[in-house]
Amino acid sequence: MAAMGQELLAIAGGAGRVCVGLVFLLAAAQKFSHWRILSGVVANYRLLPAGLVGPVSALLPPAEMILALLLLTGVAQYGAAMAAIALLVLFAAAMGINLRRGRAHIDCGCGQSFLQQTLRWTLIARNAVLVAMLLPSLTQTAPMTLSAMLTSVSAGAGFFLLYLLFNTLSALPPARARAHRFA
């Protein structure tokens, strides 16, 4: 029974790493393709001194890309999961601070610029779910069998597709705004 629990924990950890790894991969790719506006997005949060906006904007896409690769390959599993959790919490805190300031109108900078997501509490909840998905990776598990590995990769890819669906749906304007726009 304990072996089955360990295997389920390993599968959950693998699925979380695949999902969050793909999230960071997409975010990094989008930030690299829109690097000219990234410093403006970072500056819009009004949390960093002006002198740090450029360096943070330059380091963010490569950091996300490295984290994505580490999560997807399982290299440095614990360290990659901890770094990803820290970054997700940092992003959520930045969004929360701006929401508390009444600055919900700014772009979240989540990496999917075609969605133009403004800050919302649901984005913070989304980050909390991504953090929770990484928690099983912080435990020591036995090596996975091939079937367990395939299961975790498939589940992680499925969760990533749900993430994309959630982002697309949450980027839609509220029903009131859509009704007024077409009236």
Kindly report the pTM of this predicted structure. Answer: 0.88
Q: Which two tokens stand for residue 86?
A: 């820290």
Amino acid at 143: P
Tokens 């007024």 locate to 180
Per-residue confidence (pLDDT) for residue 96, from 0 to 100: 97
Nearest-angstrom CA–CA distance, 82 and 36: 29
pLDDT tens, residue order, the chain (183 aa): 677 788 888 999 999 999 999 999 999 999 898 888 899 999 999 999 999 999 999 999 999 999 999 999 988 889 999 999 999 999 999 999 999 999 999 988 876 555 578 898 999 999 999 999 999 999 877 788 899 999 999 999 999 999 999 888 877 776 665 555 555
Alpha carbon distance 146, 167 (integer Å): 31
Per-residue pLDDT, 173 = 72
Q: Residue 85's pLDDT is what?
A: 98
What confidence score (pLDDT) does residue 183 get? 53
pLDDT of residue 65: 97
Number of structural domains, the chain? 1
The H or E element containing residue 178 is helix 175-182
Tell me, letter by letter, the H, E, C secondary structure of 41-75: HHHHCCCCCHHHHHHHHHHHHHHHHHHHHHHHHCC
Range of the domain at 15: 2-182
Return the ∠ at Cα 43 (arms to 40 and 44), rounded to 5°.
Answer: 85
Task: Please give the pLDDT value at position 159.
Answer: 96
Task: Work out the end-to-end distance of the chain between its first and last CA atoms, rounded to an integer number of angstroms.
Answer: 60
